[in-house]
Structure formats: structure tokens, C-alpha cells
Amino acid sequence: MAAESEPARAGRPLLVPPRTLVVVPALNEAASVGSVVRAVHEHAPGADVLVVDDHSGDDTAAVARATGATVVTLPFTLGVGGAMRTGYGYALRHGYRIVVQVDGDGQHDVRDLPRLVEALRGADVVIGARFADDTPYEVGGARRFAMRILAAVMSLIVGTRLTDSTSGYRALGPRAIRLFAEHYPAEYLGDTVEALVIARKCGLVVRQVPVRMTAREHGRPTQGVVGSVVYLARALVAIGLGLVRRWTCPPAPEAVS
């Protein structure tokens, strides 16, 4: 699997299909969002970039515009889920057929972005997984254990093996865009695990590809046993909500072209 990324890493960037939108949810990411936008332009030429400024208190919006992104600024902070629902709504209104979520803090290696898009052939949602290969990514022991439990639960639900169900580095096709423009959870961890439950309940195909990630530049996840137990409990609640709620599913799948 790792060898698949070499063309994108070593040679000329792989072109992404027309009508691809990279959505960058960003809250107070003025220090890093510019480099993220420039990296997308370099490694995914042809993709448009939308930065959803989650009511930042710094110059996130100005920096994003200066580097060539379209910017939507929210009137108050909604969190990643609310920002991404805004992004999916924008994509649907403007006729985009592929959306890729990329964090604004520089954690996601956009050199892997074309591989996520390529993997949409035969899938509706593709997750960029930190732990699917021998790519190094350090997570505390207790939190890693919680993430493994979540991955095992989510693998059973979506019907395919997942190793990183909470990764926010994702590519989505037309049917997933329509679904999430209307139904995208805004609660903590709902935008990751509950979103996958919704996708599966609506018959969408979920798969993963290995990617590289770096440590977050701003803020760190809660560490320690207690924090990891709380993290796992909240994630299981989010999964439960996804399973019991009713969702309006979009029509039959479309092929990505």
C-alpha cells in the first residue's frame, strides 16, 4: 500500500478530477492555514479550496484569502462538525462532486490527497488512516487503546476493516456530499464516528487508505487513562446516537468521474 503514494511524492503531482473541493475547517489557525492552502495548490492542482473560518479571533480568514482560498466566515463558533456541514452545503450548491476534508493546523499531509480521491472509485467515503501502514504517528498508550476499540466497533458497523475511525482526513463522493450537506453531526466526535454510522445506514461504501500525519501544531488531545476513558465513552455515545436516529438517505450511488 505504501508504494502507491510514490508517484505523488516523488514525481509530478497527480491531477485530481474537475469539481473537487478541499474544505479546510479552521479556528484560530492564522499561523498554519496559509501553508495548508499553498500545499493543496501544489500537490492537488485543479482542486478548489474553501476555508471555513469558525469565527476565529485571529487573522485566519485574511491569511486564507491571501493564499488563494475562498473563505466563508461563520457568525459564531460551531466546531468542526458545523464548519464541515457548511462546507458540504457549499459544495452541493456549487456542483462539486468530490470533497476532501483537510485540517487547518497542518497535521494532514496533502501529498496523499490525490490518493484519497483516487480511492473513491468504488467507494463513497475514504478515510486517510494513520495506523493502516508502517507510517509513524505517536499516540499515548491509553488513548491508542481507546482508538483501537473504536476502530474495532466501527469496522463491524461499516463492514470493512478500519484502523483509524476518528481521522478527519477524508474524501467524499457525490452521494456522501448530498447526505452530509443535510445530516452532518456537530457534536464532539459526531463528525468522525457518528458520520460513518450515518454513511453506513444509508448504504454508502466506506474504505480507508494509509496516509502520513504529523503532530498537531496547536493543542494536543487529552492524554492519560481518565481522559481516554471519557474519550471512549463519548465516542460510543456518538455511535449509539447514529444507530438510533432516522436519516433521510440520498438516492442510489453515482460513479465518480
pLDDT band at 19; cut points 50, 70, 90: very high
* 213 vs 97 pLDDT, higher one: 97
Report pTM: 0.85
- The residue-averaged pLDDT of 32-40 equals 97
Residue 55 has a pLDDT of: 97
Architecture of domain 10-244: Alpha-Beta Complex (3.90)
What does the buried/exposed string (b/e) look like for 159-196 if buried means 16 or more CB atoms within 10 Å of the residue's CB? Answer: eeebbbbbbbbbbbbbbbbbbbbebbbeebbbbbbbbb
User: What's the distance, Cα to Cα, between the start and end of the chain in Å?
Assistant: 23
Q: What does the alpha-carbon distance between residue 118 and residue 180 come to, in Å, rounded to a whole number? A: 20
Average pLDDT, the chain: 86
How far apart, in whole angstroms, are the C-alpha atoms of residue 57 and residue 53?
10
pLDDT confidence of residue 216? 54
Express each pLDDT in 201-255 by its tens digit: 999 999 999 998 876 544 454 456 788 788 888 888 889 988 888 888 987 655 5
Instruction: Reply yes or no on whether the pLDDT at 6 is more than 50.
Output: no
| Confidence at residue 215, expressed as pLDDT on a 0 to 100 scale | 63
pLDDT of residue 37: 98
* pLDDT score for 244: 86
Read off the pLDDT of residues 125-154 as tens digits, 9 standing for 90 and up: 999 998 655 555 455 567 778 888 999 999
Q: Write down the pLDDT at residue 222.
A: 44
